[in-house]
Amino acid sequence: MIRITREADYGILLMTYLAQTDGQAHSAAALAQQRRLPLPMVSKILKTLARAGLLVSQRGAQGGYSLARPPAAISAADIIGALEGPIAITECSGENHDGCSRLEYCEISGHWPRINQAIYTALQSINLLEMSRPDPAQPVHFYPLHRAATANTAGHPI
């Protein structure tokens, strides 16, 4: 199973809420309370997102966190990448291939970067504006790969 971390999940929840509030700044405590998340984790996530340039932090009575860019300019990949690091589903699919000791013996290592790129492209194509709007549940359909030969010479399926 491929899963994002709890921090990335919570980060997306926090960012979608900020996208819904039209640029208003919110304190970490207010965000934690609104999303019913633990304050220490929310503070850590917000600081990381601010260091990554996705949030702006303002001090003072009217301070708090707000989006650094318009919601349409922040993707799911941006948020996940800021909180988890580069998106890579295997050691050899990311930018650094040094993590795999079996690379020279692996027959499929050349395919992982292509698969990784497809996942990254999908996450990059979903922006915060879209995620912050209610969306009716739509099932995701996966289609089987088609074989070149689907029947033998007698016309029966293989």
Q: What's the pLDDT tens digit per position in 7-29?
A: 999 999 999 999 999 888 999 99
Tens-place pLDDT, residues 76-121 = 999 999 999 888 777 666 665 555 666 677 777 677 788 888 999 9
Q: 57 — phi, psi (to 5°)?
A: -105, 130
The whole model's pTM is what? 0.77
Please report the domains of the chain, with CATH numbers, ordered by start residue: 6-131 (1.10.10.10)
The number of C-alpha atoms within 13 Å of 86 and in the hemisphere containing its C-beta is 12
Instruction: Give the whole-angstrom CA distance, residue 66 versus residue 54.
Output: 9
Contact 8, 26 (CB under 8 A): no
